[in-house]
Structure 1
Amino acid sequence: MQKLRHTSKRLNLRLLCSALLLVLFVCCSSMALAASQVDISQPEPTISVPLSDWNKLKERLMIADASIENSTKSLKQADSLTVTQATELKELRVINSERAKALTELREINEKQGQELAKASNKITEQEQSLTLASNSLDELKNEIKNNRRTEQRLRRQRDTWAAGGVIGFLIGAAGAIR
């Protein structure tokens, strides 16, 4: 920010010096034009100025020339800085364009990944449902197996009971026959 103020002050100083030179140039031009319109045979008019005033005027003119030269240097520096900034701006635009393309590609990849995640989520849901059905079927099979074992045990007990009853009946019948 301080550089900008300093540059602005320099620019204002340059503009002021340029305006002074322009006024001086116009005055000199009009004097030269007036002098060219005057008959050549007439002697050129001269102005008598005291030496101290002449020295002051000469010193001020040298200061103005130095100021104009400094302003010119600063203007050249500002111009080169502007050219450099324009080049950098073009480079930044190219980089920005490349990044925008990369961002678009990343968004497309992100969308594809989102779609694949949705598909995977659907498959997981389907697999969960299949596993739930399989688990329910397995539970039913376990219950049927338990029921079948109970039935087998009951039938075995009944068979064993009938067999024991038959043996006892046979023994009673054989004992009754023996008696």
Structure 2
Amino acid sequence: GTTQTPITLIHATVAPGAEIRLPWRKDYNALVYAMSGFGFAGDEGRPIQMGQLTVFGDGDSIVIRAANQQENRSPNLELFILGGQPIKEPVAWMGPFVMNTKREVLDAFEDFQKGLLGSIPAIYKEDAKPKQPIQRTDKLSGDIKPSTASEILDVHNAPTEMQEKKV
């Protein structure tokens, strides 16, 4: 679909020891998410690794350098780079839900609990199916049916306190 304001979205693969320097619009926000690997963000070379997000401040370029040595499972630094014009709206979030207000976040949890958010069916290839049933224990065993937003977040080890930022 289309967005309300222009955005830039880039998937970049950076070889060990290589650097990317992207020109960036001064009126855009910028963030870089490391999908795999190790590297350094900005001219000051702040460390970034898989699963971490770097938010860039004012400027007209994004600089990322891949570390010389990468992890065994991924030979390169894989990045998701996103930016766009700030929309200057309030933000509230808890766990995986991000909305404009606390009420909207709570409504999203209620919709999730009612099954109104839909589901993505798993499609298995015959050779990918486990040969033996997986033994599950603890919270994910199915014995516990979470009924509140806090219990759902606890199962997924997500933050359970509401976060909010007014603009």
Task: Report the TM range for the smaller structure's normalisation.
Answer: under 0.3
Higher-Rg structure is: 1
TM-score, structure 1 length as denominator? Answer: 0.16
Q: RCO (CA 8 Å, sep 6+): is it higher in 1 or 2?
A: 1
The structure with more strand, counted as a fraction of residues? 2
